[in-house]
Amino acid sequence: MDRLPQSILFCCDHNSVRSPMAEGLAKKLYGTGVYLQSAGVKSDLDIDGFAVSVCMELGIELSRHRSRSFDEMVQWGDDLSSFDLVVALSPASQRRAQELTRHAHLDVEYWPILDPTGLGEGRDDRLASYRQARDQIHSRLIARWGNGDSEE
């Protein structure tokens, strides 16, 4: 198990499903001892209602999340190179993060997390897909940095 970095940026395509779930799960596991943010290649979608629902099942509040893109981060003064680690949850976000950090000494990791959008026929099937993505993220976090209960 690795030592938890001081700052992590989670990213995906739209910052509306996977990266906000990862940010919320990491905040629940690791608290305020680490700076956690999320972004997308684009920020053209609001937080996904199914993502909000499956995270609320674990007591994680996502409904106030506001999607933001890499470009908006830069416009707002967030320097990607100030993060210790970027965790990309989609191939497109991995490519974009690598482009933006190619001159920085910054690790970009790719975690292949299921994109649950558009999967499943009815509400129950769709929720099951979102739970699967949430649980994949949760498992990766714990495998990498533990469950947050141990000392720092």
Burial grade of 16 (CB within 10 A; 0-12, 13-18, 19 or more): buried
The pLDDT > 90 percentage for the chain reads 49
Q: Where are the alpha helices (DSSP H) in the chain?
A: 18-30, 49-56, 70-75, 91-100, 123-145
Strands 107-110 and 85-88, how do they pair? parallel
Please give the pLDDT value at position 1: 66
Q: What is the CATH number of the domain that holds 22?
A: 3.40.50.2300
Compute the mean pLDDT over every residue in the chain, rounded to the nearest whole number. Answer: 87
pTM of the model: 0.89
Q: Which domain holds residue 116?
A: 7-145
Average pLDDT over residues 123-145: 92
In a domain, 151, yes or no: no
More confident residue, 21 or 103: 21
In a domain, 1, yes or no: no
User: Residue 141's closest CA among 51, 15, 13, 24?
Assistant: 24
- Residues 41-67: tens digit of each pLDDT: 987 777 888 999 999 999 999 988 888
Which residue has tokens 């990862």?
Answer: 22
What are the φ/ψ torsions at residue 48 (nearest 5 degrees)? -80, 130
Which region holds residue 31: left if phi is over 0, alpha if psi is between -120 and 50, else beta? Answer: left
In a domain, 127, yes or no: yes
pLDDT interval class at 19 (50, 70, 90): very high
In a domain, 98, yes or no: yes
**Residues pairing with 9 in the sheet:** 37, 86
Overall domain count for the chain: 1
Please give the pLDDT value at position 137: 96
Average pLDDT over residues 18-40: 92
Measured CA distances, 88 to 56, 58, 78, 96, 98 (Å):
23, 23, 17, 9, 10
CA distance 59 to 74: 31
Q: Is the pLDDT of residue 134 over 70?
A: yes
